[in-house]
Each structure stands twice: as structure tokens, then as C-alpha cells.
Structure 1
Amino acid sequence: MVTGRERACVLISLFVFSGASVDCGLQAPLSRIVGGANSVEGEWPWQASLQVRGRHICGGTLIADRWVVSAAHCFQDERLASASIWTVYLGKYLQNATSHTEVSFKVIRLFLHPYYEEDSHDYDVALLQLDHPVIISTLIQPICLPAPSHLFEPGLHCWITGWGALKEGGSNVLQKVDVQLIQQDICSEAYHYMVSPRMLCAGYHKGKKDACQGDSGGPLACKEPSGRWFLAGLVSWGMGCAHPNHYGVYTRITQVLGWMNQTMS
């Protein structure tokens, strides 16, 4: 059964925050995803944990000083559709402990893509507006958004991060795993042509490495030769977790940028 990874339970490489130019997509100097490993604290400074009443539900990605992007399917249950119930954590590393680096935000507005389709997971993207601006540091900063023309080539190795299940069925420590971008026609055939142009596939033919429940909405991040990380996709759906010939399917960011920029402006 094809499901989302979790149910119920820019165009420029510099962003401007409070009058100061701050780089995006740069990792700090550094002294439960299937097949992954523990990340290092501060390694993924754009990673967000989206929680309801203290429980991690989905992942998200900081893209501007008051905006986090996630997957629309995280909010499709009517009990999760209200912005006011959500708390966003940035700078978080452990789920069962509070880090000195983490900051929490309430969500004041929640936007789901108007073309989002629950059954097909097409246009699976949502934007959360935070109640106050993020203070940007090396440990909390936005990822870079690609230009609409940006090509993430098949074969490129990118990374997924999150606190999702380590096997089908959460991890306490933020996990990371490398995945390979898959040619669109190959993935579409594997999923009986249910993969739309708004989707991007990543993983391996043999499986073993993938996102899973709880990782939904989290980033598929790709590092460019410049050393900056760009957001290529959002964890959206798949057939099980890390099964052979069933890749992870992600919302393709370049295809929903227009709506994102319009919503945030």
C-alpha cells in the first residue's frame, strides 16, 4: 500500500535577516533513517522537528527567517490541520532531551499547496510561518533554495535527515543517510507510473537506505561544488521503507518554487 511517510499519529544564495546578509546552506565547522547513521550535533542547521503536544510528527526545513517547509500530508488529518497546535523546533539534536542550541516557535499560519492531492501525493508541500524571526547562527540557518532551472542530475548523491523509524514499523538521535538521485523514468516504472513531474526519486535499486515513518516533510539536501547545500526535495511517500526497487519519493522543490515564493511574499 502506498502511503505518506507519516500520518496523524530561492532563488538567491544569500538571505537577508534583520538587515544583515547571512549565508544559506553552509554547515558549521564540525570538531531513525533506515541504513543511516547518527548525525553530529549542528551538522544539519536547517533541520526542523514539527511537534504536537511534545510528540515529533514530521520533519521540516528552515528556508527563511520565519518560514519552514514541510510535506502537506503531515497536516491532512483534520486533527492536525490547525496551525495553532504545532510547535517547530530548530537546533534540535535529541528527541528525548533539550539541547542548549534548540529554539522553539509557534506556528501562526499554515499553507498547503492548493493542488495537493491526498491520494496521489502530488504537490505534497506545505509552508509554516513562525511566530517570530529566527536568530541565524552557524547551528541554526536556512538551506539554500534552488532556482527553478536548477538541475539535480540523476546519480547525484544527496542526504536525507530525520528522527524517523530506523526500521518499518523513531530515533532519538537525528539520523542521516546518503541516497542517489534516480532517473525519473526508472522510478516511474517501478511505481507503475504514479510518479508525477512534481516528484523526485532517490535511493538504491537494492533498497537498504531510505526515509521512513516520522521523516515526512524533512529535507533531501544536495551539496553543490560551491560547498553550499540546496533543498532538492521533501520526504513524501514510498512503498514500505528501503525495499528493493522501491525508491523514496520526494516532492520536487523546483516544481513548487513559484507557489512557495508567492506564499512567502
Structure 2
Amino acid sequence: MTPRARFPLLALLLTLVIGSAAQARTPIAAPSARARASVVGGTPAAAGILSSVVFITSQTSATSAMACSGTVLAPTVVLTAAHCVVDETTTTVRPAAGIAISSGRLDRTEAGQDVGAARVLVHPAYDPRAIRSDAALLVLSAPLSAAPVAVAGAGDAALAAPGAPALFAGWGATSGNSSEASSRLLQTTTTVLADDLCRRLLGADFDAGVTLCAVDSPRFAGSTCRGDSGGPLLLQRGDGALVQAGITSWGSLGCDTRVPQAFTRVSAISGWIAEQLAAVAATPSTTAPADDGSLAGTRDSGAQSATTIAAALYRGSTRQRRAIAVRVASGGRTVAGVQFAYRARCELPARGRGRSGGGSTVRRASTRSGWRNGAFRSATSTRLPIAARASGGAFTTQRLDSSGRRVRVTGAFSTDGRLRGTLRVSWRERGGARCDSGVVRYSAQR
């Protein structure tokens, strides 16, 4: 079924299921009074930069879909929230074939462009539990005509100063009690809050390094709501130009206008965005369906052609429910980078005293154990050869990272375009503690 034919069905299913992850956090001190049910409190968006805001549906089952918002960054690239495209239960990326994008309209009852996604790129640091680095890019199967929005870079971080006025827009519900997405694109104003205030009001899950928060002060009339996830928070540069400084991420369960809403800080991930945009621009075939990315005729050391290895970013998760990303370089001959998070068990030998059966004092060993969380990222200059086979290819690497941890990663590409393998991280800490993640299996796809 073509993306255009599938889209109306998904839109109808939104009355049954609408994405809830955007409002999946209850603040520590949320107001108990009922929120004003009037984006909530928004007004119809005007043509212009907001014409770049798209409506997204992500199929979650055969009979339901999640509604989200997003922005056009390039003709074939849309920016949205990671939780819109990652399964909440399995933490795996949903198939691109189940994602549809609607653009070119401010009212979904009017004509516009409906296209599908060819690939889904989730930020490698995305943490689904705390909803941090909540960002994803959709590489589209066909170009959109909407003008791209400018994104905040590292030099624009100061724009999100406390008290700065901002604007956000989305296709979400207009009330905390509603289960339907708005048929009109809505917008409303808000105010950026200081990081320490955001942390105090939203709790420990708020990470100021990658997240900012805002509230409609002093009016307390507008708020993000379910379905606004992935939409833009816009700030104004000194020259008057609007730039996207945030991605709608999470807020109160009831869409309370007096509770701050959290946005992924775009300036903190601008490097990753620029890298992905450059990769898409350099690979015209990425606008085609993902299954067409074959490399027939590519050979390595005289082996059979690696017909299933595509030059792409393979993303997935481990059995530890952690994210992993493996980048295959142009030509499908080498792995250009590996990045993953892990959990390792550490045991520290200790000495204690006890009594033997005859009553004499002897020394016996015991252990103290605990868990350590960490992350590994290979150097960008690394190139791991892929040994081509008729069914795909495989790679293995074993090295020490900058902290002295021994890292071993294996991977094999299958005929269905997936990458499966194992990883293991082990090291010894000062004091003699031995830490080991054990052999952890993972699965990823491009």
C-alpha cells in the first residue's frame, strides 16, 4: 500500500489511540486545580514559518497509530521526537513503512502532500526512561515543498535565556480530556524558564544539558498536549528570524497550563542534526524505500558480493534495553563508527574473618557487588572492515577505550537488512573491582 493510500486510515485510527508519551511525566508538585481546557489555549497558526510544521502518524498496531508533530528541515528530512517512533515497551524503532507525514496545509481537511518515511534516525543518546535527547529524523520517500525551518546551533544556546518569549505549535489535542488530534495547526506563546526552576518543578528527570522548559507565564493559558510531541519551540534571533530551539517532548498528564513543558534543546543536538543532513544530501538513494539500498557488485578481498549491506546508520537496542548505533561507511565496505550504552556488574573482593570448625580464626573471602552504567563511542577515524559473504557480511572489533575499558563488538548483516550481534565491556577499577557487562546481544536496522 502506498503512503498516500495508507494515510487516511491512520488518521481515522487516531480517535482510538493518540500518542501519550509527550505528556508522560507527572511533575513533583503539579497543581491540583483543573486545567483550563481551551496545542491547549492555542489559536489557528498563520501561514509562513509555521507552514513547515507537519502532522505525523506512526502505526503502533494493526488498528491504532500515534499522532505527533514535526518540522521540515530539508525537502526529504523531518525533525520530530524520538518517542514518536520508538516502541515504548520494546524500545525498538518502529518500521518506517508505518509512518506517514502530512504537509502543505494548516487544516488537515484541506488538500496537501502525504508522503511516507523511508528511514528513521533516532538520536543515539535517546533515553526512553527519562525522555532525554528526545529527537529523531525521518528521511522521506518523496520530497516536500514546504520551506525548511532554521534550527538553533551551538552559537544560539543563549537565545533560550530565562524570560525569553517563545512560540510553539502542533497538531495535538486542545484539552487534557480529549483523545483527538486537532484538525487545525494551532500555535501559542510561552516563556522560557531558568534551568534551576525547571529542575525544581519537573524533578530529577529534567536534564538542563539537553532539555529546556517553558510555561505560559503570566497568562497560564496555553500548553502543549498529546499529539504536539515533536513540534517546534521557536525563539527569535537578534535579526528577527525565528529558529527552532526546542522539540516538544513531555509535560503534565492533564496538559495543565500552569505546569512547565519540557522541550529537547536543539542547540545541544545541532551537530548530530547537521551530520545527518549532510549524509542524506550526499546519498540521493536515501529518498527511496529502505529495501532498495542494495550494493550489488561490491566486493571485499575477492569474496562474494555483499548485496544486503547498505551504507547507512543502523539503529536498535540491546538485551539490556539500551540503545546502539552502528554506522556503515559509503560503499558498504567498512563500519565507520559504533556507539552504545551498557550496564555492567562490578564485584570488589573483600576480606573478612570467620571461625573454622576447630575454632581457629581463618580469613575467608567475600565480595561486594554493584552496577555501573556507561557508554562507548568509537573514534570517527575508525574503519572496521566488513568481511563480505553471499548472505551479507560480518565484522568484529576488540579494543580499549579512552578509560581503559576493554570493548568487543561483533555484528552480522542479514538478508532482511538487519544487523545482529553481541557486545561486551569489561574493566578493572582502582581498588581491585572487576566490572563486566557479560555478552549482550543486540539487534538494529537501517
TM-score (norm 2): 0.49
SS at 1:44 equivalent: helix
Q: Residues 244 and 165 (structure 1 numbering): CA distance in 2 closer, same or farther, change over 3 Å? A: closer
What residue number does 1:203 align with? 215
Root-mean-square deviation (CA, aligned residues, Å) is: 2.4
Structural mapping, 1:222-241, within 5 Å: 222-241=235-254
Q: Residues 155 and 6 (structure 1 numbering): CA distance in 2 closer, same or farther, change over 3 Å? A: closer
Q: 1:59 aligns with which of 69, 73, 80?
A: 69
Shift, 1:94, TM fit: 1.7
Q: Residues 244 and 60 (structure 1 numbering): CA distance in 2 closer, same or farther, change over 3 Å? A: closer
Shift, 1:119, TM fit: 1.0
What residue number does 2:186 align with? 175
What residue number does 1:21 align with? none
Q: 1:76 aligns with which of 75, 86, 111?
A: 86
**Runs ≥4 residues deviating over 4 A:** 52-56
Partner deviation per Cα, 1:119-171 (whole Å, 9 max, x = no partner): 10011000001123333xxxx21111222121222211111111211110222
Structure 1: gaps spanning 5 or more residues: 8-31
Q: Residues 175 and 56 (structure 1 numbering): CA distance in 2 closer, same or farther, change over 3 Å? A: farther
Shift, 1:245, TM fit: 5.1
What residue number does 2:295 align with? none
C-alpha separation between the residues in 1 aligned to 2:155 and 2:78?
22
Q: Would you say how many aligned residue pairs link Structure 1 and Structure 2?
A: 232
Tell me, yes or no, if structure 1 residue 156 matches structure 2 residue 169. no
SS at 1:189 equivalent: helix
C-alpha separation between the residues in 2 aligned to 1:193 and 1:56?
27
C-alpha separation between the residues in 1 aligned to 2:135 and 2:80?
6
SS at 2:155 equivalent: coil
Tell me, yes or no, if structure 1 residue 193 matches structure 2 residue 204. yes
Structural mapping, 1:71-150, within 5 Å: 71-77=81-87, 81-95=94-108, 97-99=109-111, 102-135=112-145, 140-150=146-156
Which is bigger in relative contact order (C-alpha 8 A, separation at least 6)?
A: 1
Tell me, yes or no, if structure 1 residue 36 matches structure 2 residue 53. no
CA contact (8 A) 1:49 1:56 kept: no
Structure 2: gaps spanning 5 or more residues: 1-19, 25-37, 279-446
Larger deviation, residues 212-221 vs 168-177? 168-177
What residue number does 1:252 align with? 265
TM-score (norm 1): 0.80
Q: Residues 115 and 245 (structure 1 numbering): CA distance in 2 closer, same or farther, change over 3 Å? A: same
SS at 2:50 equivalent: coil
Q: Residues 194 and 47 (structure 1 numbering): CA distance in 2 closer, same or farther, change over 3 Å? A: same
Identity of aligned residues (%): 25
Instruction: Compare CA radii of gyration and give the structure with the larger one.
Output: 2
Residue type matched to 1:195 in 2? F
C-alpha separation between the residues in 1 aligned to 2:224 and 2:269?
21
Q: 2:173 aligns with which of 147, 158, 165?
A: 165
SS at 1:149 equivalent: helix
Q: Residues 243 and 205 (structure 1 numbering): CA distance in 2 closer, same or farther, change over 3 Å? A: farther
C-alpha separation between the residues in 2 aligned to 1:48 and 1:39?
12
What residue number does 2:22 align with? 5
Q: Residues 185 and 258 (structure 1 numbering): CA distance in 2 closer, same or farther, change over 3 Å? A: same
